[in-house]
Structure 1
Amino acid sequence: MSVVDRHVPQRTCIGCRVRCDQPSLIRLALVRTGHAHDTRIVVDMRRTTHGRGAWIHADAACVEHMLRKKSWMRAFRVSQGMDISELNTLRERITQTDTTLRYRNPHTATDNVVVDTSTGSG
């Protein structure tokens, strides 16, 4: 009897550009709020928010690189600024290691933390 391996979707981190298993990444979503030009980026911990998505490791270096290089603009196919306050909150929570969920970090092969953003109001 052999164990059948289940397919695990692969996604690319927009911070470090490394492909890895989807469960080890946080999903970001571009959400339109009312008007066509009123958009913001939210952290989608449940991975159910409608809209264009991008993926990032819960790693301070990846989040810093994404914000510094503005790679979120390429990932979401936008050319103008928008509300990224939730990305800054994500950076702060990862830096402070506010833990609720764990994942395997492909950079260090150790357990890292993923933040719980469901308690914050956006």
Structure 2
Amino acid sequence: MRAARVKTRSAPVRTCIGCRKQELAADLLRVVAQETAVVPDPQRRLPGRGAWLHPLSSCLAVAIKRRAFGRALRVSGHLDISALEHYVENRHEHS
């Protein structure tokens, strides 16, 4: 049992704020809040608190419905997610 636990720690695991499934961080898109906008951070370099999301329109829709961005990023008020929507749509077209 301990060997399995050590093996899972070798790669970071994060939870998608849309579907709530745990995945390797490499399979999820990091997003951050910049002022009043949620922006994608595919290189994982932007400063600030991050949240993780499958780069799929279905997970994005669930996250919007659940109002998960404000909670996960600890930001109150209306958040503009148009940049994130644009990123997910364009990524989906090229997949």
- TM tier, smaller: 0.7 to 0.9
Cα distance in 2 for partners of 1:70, 1:88 equals 15
CA shift in 2, pair 1:90/1:68, >3 Å: farther
Give unpaired runs (5+ residues) of structure 1: 33-38, 100-112, 114-122
Distance in 1 between the 2:57 and 2:80 partners?
20
Q: Deviations over 1:63-93 (max 9, x none)?
A: 1111122111110112210322212213432
| 1:22-33 equivalence runs, <5 A | 22-32=25-35
* Length-normalised TM-score, structure 2: 0.79
Which structure shows the bigger proportion of residues in strand conformation? 1
SS of the residue 1:98 aligns to? helix
Deviates more, 1:46-55 or 1:68-77: 68-77
- Asked if the contact 1:13/1:55 (under 8 Å) is kept, the reply is yes
Q: CA RMSD in A?
A: 1.8
Question: Percent of aligned positions with the same letter in both sequences?
Answer: 36
Give the Cα separation in 2 of the matches to 1:91 and 1:43.
Answer: 9
Q: Which residue of 1 aligns with 2:93?
A: 98
Bigger relative contact order, structure 1 or 2, given CA contacts below 8 A and separation 6+?
Answer: 2
Query: Alpha carbons of 1:69 and 1:42: their partners in 2 closer, same or farther (altered >3 Å)?
Result: same
Is 1:8 aligned to 2:11, yes or no? yes
The count of residues paired between Structure 1 and Structure 2 equals 88
**Amino acid across the alignment from 1:82:** L
**So what's the TM-score if we normalise by structure 1?**
0.64
2:93 aligned partner, one-letter code: D
Question: Which of the two has greater helix per residue?
Answer: 2
The AA in structure 2 aligned to 1:84 is: I
Q: Distance in 1 between matches of 2:32 and 2:73?
A: 8
